[in-house]
Amino acid sequence: MAWARTPRARPAPSPAQLAWQREELSCFLHFGVNSFTDREWGDGTEAARSFAPGRLDARQWARAARAAGFRAMILTAKHHDGFCLWPSGVTDHSVAKSSWRSGAGDVVGEFTDACRAEGLRAGLYLSPWDRNAAVYGTPRYNDFYCDQLAELLTRYGRITEVWFDGANGEGPNGRRQAYDWPRIFATVRRLQPDAVIFSDAGPDVRWIGNETGSAGDPNWSTMDPAVVPAPGVWSEAIGRALQHGDPAGSVWRPGETDTSIRPGWFHHPAEDDKVKSVAALTEIYFNSVGRNSKLLLNVPPTRDGVLHDNDVARLASWHDRLAALFAEDFAAGRRPTQHITSPRSAVVEVDLGRRVTAGLVRLEEDIAHGQRVARYAVLGAGESGAWTELVRGETIGYRKLDRFAPASVRRLRVVVEDAVVAPRPLAIGVYAG
Ligand code: FUL
C-alpha cells in the first residue's frame, strides 16, 4: 500500500540570505594587473610592479556606489592571474612587491574601510583558478587557497559575501585542479558564519547562468542542487536551470545576476565611450531585481585607481531614472484585501481612491515564508464595471516588476491563479511607469 507523502516544509531563506536579497543592488569591482595590461584574463606572468595606480581612492568607489543606490560592493581580491590586492603571506605575487604605497599598501584594507565609512556591506571575490601559483594543479593548492581565504576572512572585519568564480580557461594540456570544495566552504563558514557563499550552485546564492544581466522569467529561488555537479561545470541545460530555478527544488538558492556596465569586466580606455546607457541599465534592473534576482553590477576602476567620470555620471543618471519611475506609488497607504479562493489561488484587490494612469506594477511576496506564487494576472477597472487584464506573469518572489500599456484605473486586482502552496498576502505598488 502506498502512503500519502507528508508535505515537506517549503524551503525558506536563512537570515543571511534574506539580508543579501534585501540589498537588491551590489557593485562589483574588477581591478588588478589586468587594469594595467589592458587585458581581461592575465596569464600569471605579469610583473607585480605593473600594478601602479597613481591616485587610488576606494572612498570614491564607495561614494559613487552609495549615491547610486548600491548597498554592498564586491572586490576582486585575486583574479585568474593570481595577483593579490592584499599582502598575502603565502605568495610574493601581490601588492607588497609593487611600488604602490612603497609596497606597504593593501587595496583590500582600503576597500573594506571605504565600504564601512559609506555604510556599504563588503564582499570579496577570490578566483579559484590561479595561473601564477606554482602549486596550482596539485593537492597543495587547496592549502594555499584556504590560507588565502583565511587571510581575507580574518583581517578585514565582517565580510558578507564570498564569491567563487567557476571560470577556468586551461586548455587541453592545462593544469587541472581538484578543488576541495567542502573544505573551502567550511573555511568560510568557520571564519565568517554570517557571510553568504556564491558559486554556480551555492551553497547560499546561485549564479543566474549568464552574464547579460537577465534573470529567468519565471525565476524560482528554490532549486535542485544536483543540477550543477561541481562549480565550473556548465552546459546549456545547466544554464537554463540556473536561470529559472525550480519550484520543486529542495533548497533555497536565490539567483545573483552579474553583468558589467561596460563590454569588459576590467577597465579598458578604449571602452570609455561604451558605458551602458541609462535605458540599457534600466532594462537590466527590470530583468534582474524586477525578476526576483539581485543585481551585481560591475563598475571597474581605471588604472589610476578611481571610477571613470563616464561611469560615475551614468550611475547617477540611472539612479535618477529609477527614483523618478518609483517616486509616486498610487497604492501607498491603501490596504489590499486578499481572499483565498482555493487552497492554491487567491484574489488580491486594491482601491487606489482615485483614477490614475498606471503602466507599472510591483508585486512582492514575503519570502521569509518561501516563494509560492506560480501564475497570476493583473487586472484593472474604473470606479465600477468590467475588469480588464493588464498583464500576466508566473513567479513573483522577492519582487516582480511588470510594465504594460498605460491604462486608466481606479481599482487593481491580482488574481493568483496557481501557487505551490497557499499564497500569503502580497505587497502591491502601482506606478505611472
Ligand atoms: C568570469 C570571469 O572569467 C570573468 O573574468 C569575470 O571575473 C566574471 C565575473 O566571471 O567567470
Of 124, 131, 265, 299, the residue with max ligand 1 atoms within 8 A of its CB, to mutate for a pocket test, comes to 265
Q: Is the CB of 169 under 6 A from ligand 1?
A: no
Is the CB of residue 165 below 6 angstroms from any atom belonging to ligand 1?
Answer: yes
Amino acid at 332: A
What's the pLDDT tens digit per position in 156-215?
A: 999 999 999 998 989 888 999 999 999 999 999 999 999 999 999 999 999 999 999 999
Instruction: Count Cβ neighbours within 10 Å for each residue of 358-374 and write b for 16 or more, e otherwise.
Output: bbbbbbbbebeebbbbb
**Closest protein CA for atom 10 of ligand 1:** 165
Query: What pLDDT, on the 0 to 100 scale, is given for residue 173?
Result: 87
Q: How far is the CA of 342 from the centre of ligand 1 (A)?
A: 46
48 pLDDT more than 80: yes
pLDDT band with cut points at 50, 70 and 90 for residue 398: very high
- State which of 35, 165, 242 you would mutate to test the pocket of ligand 1, scoring each by most atoms of that ligand within 8 A of its C-beta: 165
Say yes or no: CB of residue 167 within 6 Å of ligand 1.
Answer: yes
Q: Report pLDDT digits (tens) over 201-213.
A: 999 999 999 999 9
130 lines ligand 1 (CB under 6 A): no
Closest ligand 1 atom to Cα of 30: 7
State which of 211, 257, 266 you would mutate to test the pocket of ligand 1, scoring each by most atoms of that ligand within 8 A of its C-beta: 211
366 CA from centroid of ligand 1 (Å) = 32
Q: Ligand 1: distance of its center to the CA of 75 in Å? A: 12
Instruction: Compute, in angstroms, the gap from residue 377 CA to the centroid of ligand 1.
Output: 38
- Confirm or reject: Cβ of 186 under 6 Å from ligand 1: no
What is the CATH code of the structural domain delimited by 15-325?
Answer: 3.20.20.80
Paired with 358 in beta bridges are 407
Burial class (CB in 10 A: 0-12, 13-18, 19+), 299: buried
The count of residues in the chain is 433
HEC string of the chain equals CCCCCCCCCCCCCCHHHHHHHHHCEEEEECCCCHHHHCCCCCCCCCCHHHCCCCCCCHHHHHHHHHHCCCCEEEEEEECCCCCECCCCCCCCCEHHHCCHHHHCCCHHHHHHHHHHHCCCEEEEEECCCCCCCCCCCCCHHHHHHHHHHHHHHHHCCCCCEEECCCCCCCCCCCCCCCCCHHHHHHHHHHHCCCCEEEECECCCEEECCCCCCCCCCCCCCEECHHHCCCCCCCCHHHHHHHHHCCCCCCEECCEEEEEECCCCCCCCHHHCCCCCCHHHHHHHHHHCCCECCEEEEECCCCCCCCCCHHHHHHHHHHHHHHHHHCCCCCCCCCCCEEEEEECCEEEEEEEEEEEEEEEEEEEECCHHHCCCEEEEEEEEECCCCCCEEEEEECCCCCCEEEEEEEEEEEEEEEEEEEECCCCCCCEEEEECC
Q: How far apart are CA 266 and CA 302, in angstroms?
A: 8
pLDDT value of position 385: 79
pLDDT confidence of 234, banded at 50, 70, 90?
confident
Stretch 409-414: mean pLDDT: 97
pLDDT at 413 over 50: yes
Q: Which of 76, 4, 72 is nearest to 40 (CA)?
A: 76
The pairing of strands 373-381 and 388-393 is antiparallel
pLDDT band at 77 (very low <50, low <70, confident <90, very high): very high
In this prediction, residue 308 carries a pLDDT of: 98
pLDDT at residue 14 tops 70: yes
Highest CATH level, class, for 337-431: mainly beta
The pLDDT of residue 4 is 41
Q: Where are the domains of the chain?
A: 15-325, 337-431
Measured distance CA(27)–CA(423) in Å, rounded:
33
Cell of 404: 504594460
Q: State percent of the chain over pLDDT 90.
A: 92
Q: Relative to the CA of 258, which ligand 1 atom is closest?
A: 9
Does 337-431 match 15-325 at the fold level? no
User: Which residue's alpha carbon is nearest to atom 11 within ligand 1?
Assistant: 167
Given a contact cutoff of 8 angstroms between Cβ atoms, the answer to whether 100 and 54 are in contact is no
**Residue 89 banded pLDDT, cuts 50, 70, 90:** very high
Residue 251 pLDDT more than 90?
A: yes
Residue 81 beta carbon below 6 angstroms from any ligand 1 atom = no
Considering only CA atoms, which residue is closest to atom 6 of ligand 1?
Answer: 265
Cα 247 to middle of ligand 1, angstroms: 28
pLDDT of residue 8: 57
Is the predicted pLDDT of residue 7 greater than 60, yes or no? Answer: no
Mean of the per-residue pLDDT values of the chain: 96
324 touches ligand 1 (CB under 6 Å): no
- Tell me: pLDDT of 73 over 70: yes
pLDDT digits (tens, 9 = 90+) for 252-282: 999 999 999 999 999 999 999 999 999 999 9
pTM to 2 decimals? 0.97
**256 contact partners, CB below 8 Å, separation of at least 6:** 26, 198, 205, 206, 207, 208, 293, 294, 296
Any ligand 1 atom below 6 A from CB of 151: no
